[in-house]
Structure 1
Amino acid sequence: MANHEFDVENDGPGLSQGLPPETRRDEITGHVNKVRTSRVEELAELFSVSAMTIHRDLDYLAKEGRLERIRGGARAITARLAERDVRLRRHLNAELKSQLAATAAKLIERNSVIALDDSTTVGALGAHLEEREPSTVITHSLALMGAVSAMAHIDMVGLGGQYYAETDSFLGSIVVEQAQRLTADAVFVSTTAIKNNALLHPDAEAARTKRSLLQMGRRKILVVDSSKYESAGIYHVMNLSEFDDVVIDDQLDDALMTQLQQLGPRIHIATTSAKAQP
Protein backbone atom coordinates (compact mmCIF):
# COMPACT_ATOMS: atom_id res chain seq x y z
CA MET A 1 0.00 0.00 0.00
CA ALA A 2 2.94 2.31 0.61
CA ASN A 3 3.56 2.58 -3.10
CA HIS A 4 0.19 4.25 -3.56
CA GLU A 5 0.49 6.78 -0.75
CA PHE A 6 1.37 10.40 -1.40
CA ASP A 7 3.54 12.53 0.85
CA VAL A 8 1.89 15.62 2.25
CA GLU A 9 5.21 17.41 2.84
CA ASN A 10 4.95 19.50 -0.28
CA ASP A 11 5.07 23.08 0.92
CA GLY A 12 8.74 23.72 0.16
CA PRO A 13 10.37 25.18 -2.95
CA GLY A 14 11.50 21.84 -4.37
CA LEU A 15 11.06 20.74 -7.95
CA SER A 16 9.11 17.55 -7.20
CA GLN A 17 6.14 17.99 -4.89
CA GLY A 18 3.55 15.50 -3.70
CA LEU A 19 5.14 12.51 -5.40
CA PRO A 20 4.35 8.90 -4.51
CA PRO A 21 7.30 7.42 -2.57
CA GLU A 22 8.37 5.08 -5.40
CA THR A 23 8.35 7.89 -7.95
CA ARG A 24 10.31 10.13 -5.61
CA ARG A 25 12.85 7.36 -4.99
CA ASP A 26 13.28 6.85 -8.73
CA GLU A 27 13.93 10.58 -9.12
CA ILE A 28 16.33 10.59 -6.18
CA THR A 29 18.25 7.73 -7.80
CA GLY A 30 18.41 9.59 -11.11
CA HIS A 31 19.54 12.80 -9.42
CA VAL A 32 22.31 11.10 -7.42
CA ASN A 33 23.50 9.17 -10.47
CA LYS A 34 23.76 12.48 -12.31
CA VAL A 35 25.58 14.49 -9.62
CA ARG A 36 27.42 11.43 -8.21
CA THR A 37 27.11 12.53 -4.54
CA SER A 38 24.29 14.30 -2.72
CA ARG A 39 23.59 15.29 0.87
CA VAL A 40 20.35 14.72 2.78
CA GLU A 41 19.67 18.46 3.19
CA GLU A 42 20.02 19.08 -0.54
CA LEU A 43 17.63 16.24 -1.39
CA ALA A 44 15.10 17.35 1.23
CA GLU A 45 15.00 20.81 -0.30
CA LEU A 46 14.89 19.52 -3.85
CA PHE A 47 11.98 17.13 -3.21
CA SER A 48 10.14 19.25 -0.63
CA VAL A 49 10.11 16.60 2.09
CA SER A 50 11.69 16.34 5.51
CA ALA A 51 15.21 15.17 6.15
CA MET A 52 13.73 12.17 7.98
CA THR A 53 11.82 11.17 4.84
CA ILE A 54 15.01 11.43 2.78
CA HIS A 55 16.87 9.30 5.34
CA ARG A 56 14.19 6.62 4.96
CA ASP A 57 14.31 6.86 1.16
CA LEU A 58 18.10 6.53 1.10
CA ASP A 59 18.02 3.57 3.47
CA TYR A 60 15.45 1.90 1.20
CA LEU A 61 17.43 2.64 -1.96
CA ALA A 62 20.67 1.38 -0.40
CA LYS A 63 18.93 -1.86 0.62
CA GLU A 64 17.70 -2.24 -2.96
CA GLY A 65 21.25 -1.72 -4.21
CA ARG A 66 20.38 1.40 -6.18
CA LEU A 67 22.59 3.84 -4.25
CA GLU A 68 25.48 3.65 -1.83
CA ARG A 69 24.76 5.15 1.59
CA ILE A 70 27.44 7.49 2.97
CA ARG A 71 27.58 9.70 6.06
CA GLY A 72 25.08 12.52 5.60
CA GLY A 73 23.84 11.44 2.20
CA ALA A 74 24.35 9.03 -0.69
CA ARG A 75 26.52 8.49 -3.74
CA ALA A 76 26.10 6.75 -7.05
CA ILE A 77 27.04 3.12 -7.47
CA THR A 78 30.23 2.74 -9.47
CA ALA A 79 30.31 0.45 -12.49
CA ARG A 80 32.99 -1.75 -10.92
CA LEU A 81 30.90 -2.35 -7.79
CA ALA A 82 27.69 -2.84 -9.75
CA GLU A 83 29.20 -5.58 -11.92
CA ARG A 84 29.27 -7.87 -8.89
CA ASP A 85 25.56 -7.77 -8.15
CA VAL A 86 22.56 -7.95 -10.45
CA ARG A 87 20.54 -5.69 -8.12
CA LEU A 88 23.03 -2.93 -8.75
CA ARG A 89 23.42 -3.56 -12.47
CA ARG A 90 19.68 -3.29 -13.06
CA HIS A 91 19.77 0.33 -11.95
CA LEU A 92 23.11 1.31 -13.48
CA ASN A 93 22.64 3.24 -16.76
CA ALA A 94 18.94 2.30 -16.67
CA GLU A 95 17.97 4.96 -19.21
CA LEU A 96 20.57 3.77 -21.71
CA LYS A 97 19.49 0.15 -21.28
CA SER A 98 15.91 1.21 -21.92
CA GLN A 99 16.93 2.99 -25.13
CA LEU A 100 18.93 -0.02 -26.32
CA ALA A 101 16.03 -2.36 -25.51
CA ALA A 102 13.54 -0.22 -27.43
CA THR A 103 15.78 -0.42 -30.50
CA ALA A 104 16.46 -4.14 -30.11
CA ALA A 105 12.77 -4.92 -29.63
CA LYS A 106 12.10 -3.89 -33.23
CA LEU A 107 14.09 -6.96 -34.30
CA ILE A 108 11.64 -9.36 -32.62
CA GLU A 109 9.37 -10.85 -35.27
CA ARG A 110 5.78 -11.72 -34.45
CA ASN A 111 5.23 -15.43 -33.63
CA SER A 112 8.99 -16.07 -33.53
CA VAL A 113 10.90 -18.11 -30.96
CA ILE A 114 13.47 -15.96 -29.20
CA ALA A 115 16.12 -16.65 -26.56
CA LEU A 116 17.20 -14.01 -24.05
CA ASP A 117 20.29 -14.16 -21.83
CA ASP A 118 20.52 -13.05 -18.20
CA SER A 119 22.15 -9.65 -18.77
CA THR A 120 20.34 -6.62 -17.40
CA THR A 121 20.61 -4.95 -20.81
CA VAL A 122 18.71 -7.79 -22.49
CA GLY A 123 16.43 -8.01 -19.46
CA ALA A 124 15.07 -4.57 -20.36
CA LEU A 125 13.50 -6.24 -23.43
CA GLY A 126 10.93 -7.74 -21.07
CA ALA A 127 8.93 -4.51 -21.18
CA HIS A 128 8.48 -4.88 -24.96
CA LEU A 129 7.57 -8.56 -25.30
CA GLU A 130 3.79 -8.29 -25.16
CA GLU A 131 3.82 -5.61 -27.84
CA ARG A 132 6.18 -7.53 -30.15
CA GLU A 133 4.32 -10.86 -29.66
CA PRO A 134 6.93 -13.60 -30.00
CA SER A 135 5.34 -17.04 -29.69
CA THR A 136 7.95 -18.36 -27.25
CA VAL A 137 10.70 -16.98 -25.02
CA ILE A 138 13.64 -19.17 -23.94
CA THR A 139 15.69 -17.84 -21.05
CA HIS A 140 17.87 -18.74 -18.08
CA SER A 141 17.12 -15.44 -16.31
CA LEU A 142 14.87 -15.93 -13.28
CA ALA A 143 13.60 -12.35 -13.50
CA LEU A 144 12.57 -12.81 -17.14
CA MET A 145 10.92 -16.13 -16.31
CA GLY A 146 8.77 -14.34 -13.78
CA ALA A 147 7.87 -11.58 -16.21
CA VAL A 148 7.05 -13.85 -19.15
CA SER A 149 5.02 -16.25 -17.00
CA ALA A 150 2.50 -13.43 -16.51
CA MET A 151 2.08 -12.93 -20.28
CA ALA A 152 -0.83 -15.12 -21.27
CA HIS A 153 -0.11 -15.28 -25.01
CA ILE A 154 3.63 -16.02 -24.85
CA ASP A 155 4.98 -19.50 -24.08
CA MET A 156 8.10 -19.79 -21.99
CA VAL A 157 10.91 -22.33 -21.84
CA GLY A 158 13.00 -21.88 -18.71
CA LEU A 159 16.54 -23.23 -18.69
CA GLY A 160 17.27 -24.52 -15.19
CA GLY A 161 20.41 -25.57 -13.40
CA GLN A 162 22.57 -24.16 -10.63
CA TYR A 163 21.08 -20.86 -9.47
CA TYR A 164 23.45 -17.93 -8.94
CA ALA A 165 22.07 -15.07 -6.86
CA GLU A 166 24.75 -12.70 -8.21
CA THR A 167 23.23 -12.90 -11.68
CA ASP A 168 19.70 -13.97 -10.68
CA SER A 169 19.95 -16.72 -13.26
CA PHE A 170 20.82 -20.37 -13.89
CA LEU A 171 24.29 -21.19 -15.20
CA GLY A 172 26.48 -24.19 -15.88
CA SER A 173 26.51 -27.56 -17.59
CA ILE A 174 22.82 -28.35 -17.11
CA VAL A 175 21.79 -25.11 -18.81
CA VAL A 176 24.27 -25.77 -21.61
CA GLU A 177 22.91 -29.29 -22.18
CA GLN A 178 19.34 -28.02 -22.32
CA ALA A 179 20.27 -25.26 -24.76
CA GLN A 180 21.89 -27.78 -27.09
CA ARG A 181 18.49 -29.45 -27.57
CA LEU A 182 16.72 -26.24 -28.56
CA THR A 183 16.60 -23.87 -31.51
CA ALA A 184 15.46 -20.27 -31.73
CA ASP A 185 14.75 -17.84 -34.52
CA ALA A 186 16.75 -15.14 -32.75
CA VAL A 187 19.01 -14.97 -29.70
CA PHE A 188 19.65 -11.71 -27.85
CA VAL A 189 22.72 -11.42 -25.61
CA SER A 190 24.86 -8.71 -24.05
CA THR A 191 28.30 -8.79 -22.45
CA THR A 192 30.61 -7.03 -20.03
CA ALA A 193 33.51 -6.55 -22.42
CA ILE A 194 34.44 -6.25 -26.11
CA LYS A 195 38.09 -6.45 -27.05
CA ASN A 196 40.00 -7.52 -30.15
CA ASN A 197 36.68 -7.78 -32.01
CA ALA A 198 35.32 -10.40 -29.65
CA LEU A 199 32.90 -10.71 -26.74
CA LEU A 200 34.60 -11.50 -23.45
CA HIS A 201 33.29 -12.19 -19.96
CA PRO A 202 35.06 -12.31 -16.59
CA ASP A 203 33.18 -15.44 -15.47
CA ALA A 204 33.80 -18.82 -17.11
CA GLU A 205 30.34 -20.31 -16.43
CA ALA A 206 28.57 -17.20 -17.70
CA ALA A 207 30.69 -17.16 -20.87
CA ARG A 208 29.97 -20.83 -21.52
CA THR A 209 26.24 -20.35 -20.98
CA LYS A 210 26.09 -17.33 -23.31
CA ARG A 211 27.95 -19.30 -25.96
CA SER A 212 25.45 -22.15 -25.75
CA LEU A 213 22.52 -19.75 -26.12
CA LEU A 214 24.07 -18.15 -29.19
CA GLN A 215 24.63 -21.50 -30.83
CA MET A 216 20.91 -22.26 -30.75
CA GLY A 217 19.99 -19.13 -32.70
CA ARG A 218 19.40 -18.77 -36.41
CA ARG A 219 19.90 -15.02 -35.93
CA LYS A 220 22.46 -13.83 -33.39
CA ILE A 221 21.89 -10.34 -31.95
CA LEU A 222 24.24 -8.45 -29.65
CA VAL A 223 22.76 -5.64 -27.53
CA VAL A 224 25.54 -3.63 -25.92
CA ASP A 225 26.48 -0.13 -24.83
CA SER A 226 29.64 1.45 -26.18
CA SER A 227 31.31 1.68 -22.75
CA LYS A 228 31.94 -2.08 -22.89
CA TYR A 229 34.61 -1.60 -25.56
CA GLU A 230 38.10 -2.27 -24.20
CA SER A 231 36.69 -3.35 -20.82
CA ALA A 232 38.28 -6.20 -18.88
CA GLY A 233 37.34 -9.75 -19.79
CA ILE A 234 39.02 -13.14 -19.72
CA TYR A 235 36.78 -15.80 -21.27
CA HIS A 236 35.93 -15.75 -24.96
CA VAL A 237 32.23 -15.89 -25.87
CA MET A 238 32.05 -15.20 -29.61
CA ASN A 239 33.67 -13.06 -32.30
CA LEU A 240 31.77 -9.97 -33.39
CA SER A 241 31.94 -11.15 -37.00
CA GLU A 242 29.70 -14.10 -36.09
CA PHE A 243 26.79 -11.85 -35.15
CA ASP A 244 24.03 -10.99 -37.61
CA ASP A 245 23.02 -7.79 -35.81
CA VAL A 246 24.54 -5.42 -33.27
CA VAL A 247 22.41 -2.92 -31.35
CA ILE A 248 24.61 -0.19 -29.86
CA ASP A 249 24.30 3.41 -28.70
CA ASP A 250 25.49 6.44 -30.63
CA GLN A 251 28.43 7.22 -28.32
CA LEU A 252 30.86 4.73 -29.88
CA ASP A 253 34.11 6.22 -31.18
CA ASP A 254 34.04 6.76 -34.95
CA ALA A 255 37.07 4.58 -35.58
CA LEU A 256 35.59 1.72 -33.57
CA MET A 257 32.27 2.11 -35.36
CA THR A 258 34.01 1.85 -38.73
CA GLN A 259 35.82 -1.25 -37.52
CA LEU A 260 32.55 -2.79 -36.33
CA GLN A 261 30.85 -2.08 -39.66
CA GLN A 262 33.69 -3.76 -41.55
CA LEU A 263 33.12 -6.97 -39.58
CA GLY A 264 29.79 -7.45 -41.33
CA PRO A 265 26.88 -7.39 -38.86
CA ARG A 266 23.92 -5.10 -39.42
CA ILE A 267 24.28 -2.11 -37.09
CA HIS A 268 21.25 -0.65 -35.30
CA ILE A 269 21.89 2.64 -33.49
CA ALA A 270 20.01 3.59 -30.32
CA THR A 271 19.87 7.37 -30.13
CA THR A 272 20.69 8.53 -26.62
CA SER A 273 19.74 11.67 -24.77
CA ALA A 274 23.46 12.47 -24.48
CA LYS A 275 23.71 12.69 -28.26
CA ALA A 276 20.75 15.03 -28.40
CA GLN A 277 22.41 17.55 -26.05
CA PRO A 278 24.40 20.40 -27.66
Structure 2
Amino acid sequence: MSESQNLLAEQRRALIVDEVRRRGGVRVNELTRRLNVSDMTVRRDLDALARQGMVEKVHGGAVPVAEASSHEPGFEAKSTLEPTAKEEIARAAAGLVAPGSAVALSGGTTTFAVARRLLDIPDLTVVTNSVRVADVFHTAQGAAASARPGAPRQAPATVVLTGGVRTPSDSLVGPVADQAIRSLHFDLLLLGVHGISAEAGLSTPNLAEAETNRRLVRSARRVVVVADHTKWGTVGLSSFASLEEVDVLVTDPGLSPAAREEIAERLPELIVAGEDDTGRAADG
Protein backbone atom coordinates (compact mmCIF):
# COMPACT_ATOMS: atom_id res chain seq x y z
CA MET A 1 0.00 0.00 0.00
CA SER A 2 1.41 3.46 -0.89
CA GLU A 3 2.15 6.24 1.62
CA SER A 4 -0.76 8.31 0.26
CA GLN A 5 -3.15 5.41 0.76
CA ASN A 6 -1.89 4.95 4.33
CA LEU A 7 -2.47 8.64 4.98
CA LEU A 8 -6.00 8.42 3.65
CA ALA A 9 -6.69 5.44 5.90
CA GLU A 10 -5.39 7.34 8.95
CA GLN A 11 -7.53 10.37 8.14
CA ARG A 12 -10.59 8.18 7.51
CA ARG A 13 -10.16 6.38 10.83
CA ALA A 14 -9.70 9.67 12.64
CA LEU A 15 -13.05 10.81 11.21
CA ILE A 16 -14.67 7.57 12.37
CA VAL A 17 -13.34 8.01 15.92
CA ASP A 18 -14.55 11.61 15.95
CA GLU A 19 -18.04 10.56 14.82
CA VAL A 20 -18.21 7.79 17.43
CA ARG A 21 -17.21 10.16 20.25
CA ARG A 22 -19.40 13.03 19.08
CA ARG A 23 -22.55 10.97 18.46
CA GLY A 24 -22.04 8.17 20.96
CA GLY A 25 -22.00 5.52 18.21
CA VAL A 26 -22.26 5.02 14.45
CA ARG A 27 -23.54 2.34 12.08
CA VAL A 28 -21.52 0.80 9.25
CA ASN A 29 -24.02 1.88 6.58
CA GLU A 30 -23.85 5.49 7.81
CA LEU A 31 -20.08 5.46 7.53
CA THR A 32 -20.07 3.97 4.04
CA ARG A 33 -22.30 6.80 2.82
CA ARG A 34 -20.41 9.55 4.60
CA LEU A 35 -16.93 8.36 3.66
CA ASN A 36 -17.89 7.08 0.19
CA VAL A 37 -16.10 3.76 0.70
CA SER A 38 -17.15 0.14 0.68
CA ASP A 39 -18.75 -1.78 3.51
CA MET A 40 -15.62 -3.96 3.66
CA THR A 41 -13.34 -0.91 4.01
CA VAL A 42 -15.37 0.45 6.93
CA ARG A 43 -15.34 -2.92 8.69
CA ARG A 44 -11.56 -3.15 8.27
CA ASP A 45 -11.24 0.34 9.72
CA LEU A 46 -13.41 -0.60 12.69
CA ASP A 47 -11.37 -3.75 13.25
CA ALA A 48 -8.15 -1.70 13.27
CA LEU A 49 -9.59 0.93 15.61
CA ALA A 50 -10.93 -1.73 17.96
CA ARG A 51 -7.47 -3.37 18.15
CA GLN A 52 -6.00 0.02 19.07
CA GLY A 53 -8.63 0.47 21.78
CA MET A 54 -10.08 3.56 20.07
CA VAL A 55 -13.64 2.21 19.63
CA GLU A 56 -15.67 -0.80 20.68
CA LYS A 57 -17.24 -2.84 17.90
CA VAL A 58 -20.90 -3.76 18.25
CA HIS A 59 -23.33 -5.46 15.88
CA GLY A 60 -23.66 -3.21 12.83
CA GLY A 61 -21.31 -0.47 13.97
CA ALA A 62 -19.19 0.93 16.80
CA VAL A 63 -19.55 2.80 20.11
CA PRO A 64 -17.07 4.65 22.35
CA VAL A 65 -14.79 2.57 24.53
CA ALA A 66 -16.22 2.38 28.03
CA GLU A 67 -13.44 3.93 30.12
CA ALA A 68 -13.86 5.42 33.56
CA SER A 69 -13.37 9.18 33.62
CA SER A 70 -11.01 8.69 36.56
CA HIS A 71 -8.73 6.26 34.71
CA GLU A 72 -5.22 7.67 34.29
CA PRO A 73 -2.78 5.77 32.03
CA GLY A 74 0.91 5.77 32.95
CA PHE A 75 3.60 7.68 31.06
CA GLU A 76 4.98 4.61 29.28
CA ALA A 77 1.52 3.55 28.06
CA LYS A 78 0.75 7.02 26.71
CA SER A 79 4.14 7.39 25.06
CA THR A 80 3.25 4.68 22.52
CA LEU A 81 0.15 6.55 21.31
CA GLU A 82 0.33 8.83 18.22
CA PRO A 83 4.15 9.24 18.27
CA THR A 84 4.36 10.82 14.80
CA ALA A 85 1.65 13.35 15.59
CA LYS A 86 3.34 14.29 18.85
CA GLU A 87 6.66 14.95 17.13
CA GLU A 88 4.98 17.19 14.53
CA ILE A 89 3.10 19.03 17.28
CA ALA A 90 6.34 19.46 19.25
CA ARG A 91 8.10 20.96 16.24
CA ALA A 92 5.32 23.49 15.65
CA ALA A 93 4.95 24.36 19.34
CA ALA A 94 8.68 24.98 19.76
CA GLY A 95 8.40 27.60 17.03
CA LEU A 96 6.25 29.68 19.38
CA VAL A 97 8.98 29.92 22.04
CA ALA A 98 11.21 33.00 21.93
CA PRO A 99 14.81 32.98 23.20
CA GLY A 100 15.15 34.38 26.70
CA SER A 101 11.55 33.74 27.71
CA ALA A 102 10.09 32.16 30.82
CA VAL A 103 8.27 28.99 29.78
CA ALA A 104 6.18 26.56 31.80
CA LEU A 105 5.64 22.97 30.68
CA SER A 106 3.05 20.70 32.25
CA GLY A 107 3.35 16.94 32.49
CA GLY A 108 2.57 14.58 29.62
CA THR A 109 4.13 12.75 26.71
CA THR A 110 3.44 15.58 24.24
CA THR A 111 5.10 18.21 26.42
CA PHE A 112 7.98 15.76 26.84
CA ALA A 113 8.38 15.79 23.05
CA VAL A 114 8.20 19.61 23.07
CA ALA A 115 10.94 19.80 25.73
CA ARG A 116 13.38 17.99 23.46
CA ARG A 117 12.70 20.61 20.77
CA LEU A 118 13.48 23.47 23.17
CA LEU A 119 17.08 22.45 23.84
CA ASP A 120 18.40 24.62 20.99
CA ILE A 121 16.59 27.77 22.15
CA PRO A 122 18.98 29.89 24.24
CA ASP A 123 18.51 31.54 27.65
CA LEU A 124 15.21 29.94 28.56
CA THR A 125 13.86 29.76 32.08
CA VAL A 126 11.83 26.56 32.25
CA VAL A 127 9.40 25.78 35.06
CA THR A 128 7.84 22.34 35.04
CA ASN A 129 5.97 19.92 37.28
CA SER A 130 7.06 17.02 35.05
CA VAL A 131 9.93 14.80 36.19
CA ARG A 132 10.37 13.60 32.61
CA VAL A 133 10.57 17.12 31.17
CA ALA A 134 13.12 18.18 33.78
CA ASP A 135 15.22 15.11 32.94
CA VAL A 136 15.36 16.18 29.27
CA PHE A 137 17.09 19.44 30.22
CA HIS A 138 19.29 17.97 32.95
CA THR A 139 20.54 15.23 30.61
CA ALA A 140 21.33 17.79 27.90
CA GLN A 141 23.17 20.01 30.37
CA GLY A 142 25.21 17.06 31.57
CA ALA A 143 26.20 16.25 28.01
CA ALA A 144 27.16 19.88 27.36
CA ALA A 145 29.30 20.00 30.51
CA SER A 146 31.31 17.01 29.34
CA ALA A 147 31.85 18.36 25.82
CA ARG A 148 35.43 18.84 24.66
CA PRO A 149 37.16 22.09 25.70
CA GLY A 150 36.75 24.91 23.23
CA ALA A 151 33.53 23.55 21.73
CA PRO A 152 30.90 26.27 21.22
CA ARG A 153 28.25 26.35 23.92
CA GLN A 154 25.02 28.27 24.33
CA ALA A 155 23.64 29.49 27.62
CA PRO A 156 21.83 26.52 29.19
CA ALA A 157 18.23 26.75 30.28
CA THR A 158 17.52 27.50 33.91
CA VAL A 159 15.23 24.68 35.02
CA VAL A 160 12.89 24.82 38.01
CA LEU A 161 11.17 21.57 39.00
CA THR A 162 8.27 21.99 41.37
CA GLY A 163 7.88 19.62 44.27
CA GLY A 164 4.74 17.62 44.87
CA VAL A 165 3.19 14.18 44.80
CA ARG A 166 4.01 12.06 41.75
CA THR A 167 1.16 10.91 39.46
CA PRO A 168 1.11 7.87 37.11
CA SER A 169 2.14 10.22 34.28
CA ASP A 170 5.19 11.40 36.28
CA SER A 171 3.77 14.84 37.03
CA LEU A 172 4.21 16.50 40.44
CA VAL A 173 0.93 17.82 41.84
CA GLY A 174 -0.71 18.85 45.08
CA PRO A 175 -0.24 21.72 47.57
CA VAL A 176 3.56 21.87 47.28
CA ALA A 177 3.43 22.20 43.49
CA ASP A 178 0.54 24.66 43.69
CA GLN A 179 2.41 26.89 46.15
CA ALA A 180 5.53 26.92 43.98
CA ILE A 181 3.57 27.94 40.88
CA ARG A 182 1.37 30.53 42.61
CA SER A 183 4.12 33.15 42.94
CA LEU A 184 5.52 32.74 39.41
CA HIS A 185 4.66 34.41 36.10
CA PHE A 186 5.31 32.80 32.70
CA ASP A 187 5.50 34.29 29.24
CA LEU A 188 4.17 31.04 27.80
CA LEU A 189 2.59 27.84 29.10
CA LEU A 190 2.88 24.69 27.00
CA LEU A 191 0.09 22.52 28.35
CA GLY A 192 -0.65 18.86 27.72
CA VAL A 193 -4.15 17.55 28.39
CA HIS A 194 -5.91 14.24 28.96
CA GLY A 195 -9.03 15.47 27.20
CA ILE A 196 -10.45 18.50 25.42
CA SER A 197 -14.02 19.20 24.37
CA ALA A 198 -16.34 22.12 23.65
CA GLU A 199 -18.50 21.39 26.68
CA ALA A 200 -15.96 20.29 29.32
CA GLY A 201 -12.99 22.34 28.13
CA LEU A 202 -9.64 20.94 29.32
CA SER A 203 -9.85 18.00 31.70
CA THR A 204 -7.84 15.37 33.56
CA PRO A 205 -8.74 12.21 35.50
CA ASN A 206 -6.59 13.37 38.44
CA LEU A 207 -8.21 15.84 40.85
CA ALA A 208 -4.92 17.09 42.28
CA GLU A 209 -3.47 17.55 38.81
CA ALA A 210 -6.53 19.59 37.82
CA GLU A 211 -5.79 22.11 40.58
CA THR A 212 -2.10 22.30 39.66
CA ASN A 213 -3.01 22.87 36.01
CA ARG A 214 -5.39 25.66 37.05
CA ARG A 215 -2.46 27.34 38.76
CA LEU A 216 -0.33 27.00 35.64
CA VAL A 217 -3.05 28.54 33.44
CA ARG A 218 -3.55 31.47 35.82
CA SER A 219 0.19 32.21 35.93
CA ALA A 220 0.72 32.37 32.15
CA ARG A 221 0.40 35.35 29.83
CA ARG A 222 -0.21 32.99 26.91
CA VAL A 223 -1.59 29.45 27.06
CA VAL A 224 -0.68 26.97 24.31
CA VAL A 225 -2.34 23.56 24.45
CA VAL A 226 -0.48 20.73 22.71
CA ALA A 227 -2.84 17.82 22.01
CA ASP A 228 -3.17 15.27 19.22
CA HIS A 229 -6.55 14.73 17.57
CA THR A 230 -7.48 11.73 19.75
CA LYS A 231 -7.81 14.06 22.77
CA TRP A 232 -10.75 15.88 21.18
CA GLY A 233 -14.02 14.63 22.65
CA THR A 234 -12.33 12.94 25.63
CA VAL A 235 -13.55 14.10 29.04
CA GLY A 236 -11.69 13.38 32.29
CA LEU A 237 -13.05 13.49 35.80
CA SER A 238 -12.18 17.13 36.47
CA SER A 239 -12.24 20.19 34.19
CA PHE A 240 -9.61 22.82 34.95
CA ALA A 241 -9.98 25.40 32.15
CA SER A 242 -12.45 26.41 29.47
CA LEU A 243 -11.54 26.65 25.80
CA GLU A 244 -11.88 30.41 26.08
CA GLU A 245 -8.86 30.46 28.41
CA VAL A 246 -6.66 28.94 25.68
CA ASP A 247 -4.79 31.18 23.23
CA VAL A 248 -3.48 28.52 20.83
CA LEU A 249 -4.22 24.85 20.19
CA VAL A 250 -1.48 22.90 18.41
CA THR A 251 -2.77 19.61 17.02
CA ASP A 252 -2.32 17.29 14.02
CA PRO A 253 -4.15 16.80 10.69
CA GLY A 254 -6.25 13.95 12.11
CA LEU A 255 -8.58 16.52 13.69
CA SER A 256 -11.90 16.38 11.86
CA PRO A 257 -13.39 19.35 9.97
CA ALA A 258 -16.31 19.47 12.42
CA ALA A 259 -13.95 19.70 15.39
CA ARG A 260 -11.92 22.40 13.65
CA GLU A 261 -15.05 24.49 13.17
CA GLU A 262 -15.98 24.19 16.84
CA ILE A 263 -12.47 25.12 17.93
CA ALA A 264 -12.24 28.08 15.54
CA GLU A 265 -15.37 29.54 17.13
CA ARG A 266 -13.76 29.55 20.58
CA LEU A 267 -9.98 29.91 20.17
CA PRO A 268 -7.96 32.78 18.70
CA GLU A 269 -5.58 30.43 16.90
CA LEU A 270 -5.48 26.82 15.70
CA ILE A 271 -2.19 25.37 14.44
CA VAL A 272 -2.39 22.06 12.56
CA ALA A 273 1.17 20.75 12.65
CA GLY A 274 2.46 19.11 9.49
CA GLU A 275 -0.47 20.18 7.34
CA ASP A 276 1.52 22.65 5.27
CA ASP A 277 4.92 24.29 5.20
CA THR A 278 4.14 26.65 8.06
CA GLY A 279 2.23 24.16 10.19
CA ARG A 280 -0.63 26.65 10.39
CA ALA A 281 -4.19 26.00 9.38
CA ALA A 282 -6.34 28.81 8.12
CA ASP A 283 -7.92 30.62 11.03
CA GLY A 284 -11.63 30.27 11.32
Shift, 1:134, TM fit: 4.7
What does residue range 66-81 of structure 1 map to in structure 2 within 5 Å? 78=53
Unaligned runs of 5+ in 1: 1-75, 274-278
2:88 to 89, 99, 102: 99
1:199 maps onto 2:202 in alignment: yes
Give the equivalent residue in structure 2 for 1:145: 134
Give the equivalent residue in structure 2 for 1:68: none
State the one-letter code of the partner of 2:274. T
2:257 to 223, 232, 254: 254
**C-alpha contact (below 8 Å) 2:247/2:269 kept by paired residues:** yes
Give the equivalent residue in structure 1 for 2:103: 114
Deviations 1:152-190 (A, max 9, x none): 4110111011223x1212111110111001111100112
Give the equivalent residue in structure 1 for 2:122: 133
Deviations 1:190-215 (A, max 9, x none): 21112216111111111111111111
**C-alpha contact (below 8 Å) 2:165/2:174 kept by paired residues:** yes
Name the CA distance, whole Å, in 2 between partners of 1:232 and 1:258: 19
Name the CA distance, whole Å, in 2 between partners of 1:125 and 1:169: 15
State the one-letter code of the partner of 2:129. H
TM-score by length of 2: 0.64
- How many pairs are equivalent? 198
Name the CA distance, whole Å, in 2 between partners of 1:214 and 1:137: 15
Name the CA distance, whole Å, in 2 between partners of 1:257 and 1:134: 35
1:270 maps onto 2:273 in alignment: yes
Q: CA RMSD in A?
A: 2.3
State the one-letter code of the partner of 1:186. L
Name the CA distance, whole Å, in 2 between partners of 1:226 and 1:242: 19
Deviations 1:201-238 (A, max 9, x none): 11111111111111111111111112112213221111
Percent identity, please: 24
Shift, 1:271, TM fit: 2.1
Query: Higher relative contact order by CA 8 Å / sep ≥ 6: 1 or 2?
Result: 2
Name the CA distance, whole Å, in 2 between partners of 1:84 and 1:106: 29
Give the equivalent residue in structure 2 for 1:243: 246
Name the CA distance, whole Å, in 1 between partners of 2:201 and 2:96: 22
1:169 maps onto 2:171 in alignment: yes
Name the CA distance, whole Å, in 2 between partners of 1:264 and 1:78: 30
1:214 to 192, 217, 221: 217
Deviations 1:23-48 (A, max 9, x none): xxxxxxxxxxxxxxxxxxxxxxxxxx
State the one-letter code of the partner of 1:193. G
Unaligned runs of 5+ in 2: 1-50, 55-66, 142-155, 277-284
**C-alpha contact (below 8 Å) 1:106/1:132 kept by paired residues:** no
1:226 to 226, 229, 247: 229
**C-alpha contact (below 8 Å) 1:113/1:186 kept by paired residues:** yes
State the one-letter code of the partner of 1:260. I
3-state SS, counterpart of residue 217 of structure 1: coil
- 1:191–1:221 CA distance, 2 compared to 1 (3 A): same
**C-alpha contact (below 8 Å) 1:137/1:148 kept by paired residues:** no
Give the equivalent residue in structure 1 for 2:48: none
Shift, 1:239, TM fit: 0.8
1:90 to 79, 82, 92: 79
3-state SS, counterpart of residue 97 of structure 2: coil
